[in-house]
Amino acid sequence: MKNRIILLIALVSILSCKNGQGQGPQPESEQLESLGANNTEENFSEGRIDVAIHFPGNRLSEILNKVDPSKGDVQQQMQNLMKDLSQAEAENIKKVMEANPILAMQIMFAPMLKNEIFVREDHALAKCDGLIYHLENKLDGDNETGVVFIQSQHDKSNQLTFKYDKDYFGEIQLQTRIDMDMYDREQTNDTDVIAGYTCTKAIYTLKNSTPMALGKLEVWTSGRMPQSLNFIHPFYLEEEHGIMKIAIYQDMDSDMPMMYEFKKVTPTPVSDSDMEIQQSQPVYSGKSDAQTIAAKLMGIMFGNP
């Protein structure tokens, strides 16, 4: 746990000392592939999805995406990456980190480094990397069950595999299940074409001020995307159609959302090897081994590198 706190402090302290004036490359939010001109009219049932988590107008996610925990000394890596930022860009990132410690924690544990999803019929396999962990989550949409493999980025021998059902998965810290009773949901007439699919927008607004609760979410869904994919997003909402983008606002006054969205959807045949998930032994059960799973997850998420 101590090392995780040190890393959070480092994220802010590095930005506080930044005085360079370089402009650096184009922000990641502007690099997302635009497939809106090719609006598809077919349902997506097999292929690969590339997912991006970013902060529109802010280069924070770009910096985090370039950090490689396997190379050690994360603080030094970030110092080197900061050299390409202008003073204004560094101050913008610093503002985000200092304004909301909860957001800083989410950044630490979000799969910021890599996200890809393989889909074949009603089965999906998500593979992603965060600063702390590598995660694979295989979902069987027919019976709403799945398997998770998670491994420490710092200690590859620190692994965990467990089976789950839909009632269990939202209860653990690998996914945030949104309590629908706490929010007012407004279906809007707004549409957007995301990775080639027309989506409609709904807005979730927190009814009452609640500690640790998200203030607002903007959710884009498509009827051509499998609804079962919603079970492998970092945030789960009980939407009727497949979610392709979520803008997460920490509070109602926030103007800097964390954006989770499908960057590119590629309909293509998916092989058996694409759908293979790593497994460690033993394979635990979410129903009968909940305490053991929780303890092992704590060891991966908060253990010393």
Sign of the dihedral defined by the CA atoms of residues 29, 274, 229, 135, in that order: negative
pLDDT of res. 55: 77
- Render pLDDT for 90-113 as a digit per residue (tens, 0 to 9): 776 666 666 666 666 666 677 767
SS3 287: coil
Q: Which strands make up the sheet holding 283-285, listed edge to edge?
A: 183-194, 197-206, 216-222, 242-249, 258-267, 46-54, 114-120, 123-129, 133-140, 145-152, 159-165, 283-285
Under the banding of pLDDT at 50, 70 and 90, the label for residue 20 is: very low
The mean pLDDT of 273-282, rounded to a whole number, is 95
Q: Helices (H) and strands (E) in the chain — how many of each?
A: 8, 14
Closest CA to 22 of 59, 73, 69: 59
Please tell me the predicted confidence (pLDDT) of residue 108: 67
Sequence-distant (6+) residues with CB within 8 A of 138 are 123, 124, 125, 126, 146, 147, 148, 275, 277
Is the whole model's pTM more than 0.85, yes or no? no
Task: Look at residues 240, 198, 233 and name the one whose alpha carbon lies nearest to residue 43.
Answer: 198
Residue of 49, 158, 81, 69 whose CA lies nearest to 109: 69
pLDDT in tens, 49-89: 999 888 776 677 677 777 776 676 666 777 788 777 788 87
Predicted confidence band of residue 258 (pLDDT cuts 50, 70, 90) = confident
Percent of the chain topping pLDDT 70? 73
For the cut 50, the answer to whether the pLDDT of residue 28 exceeds it is no
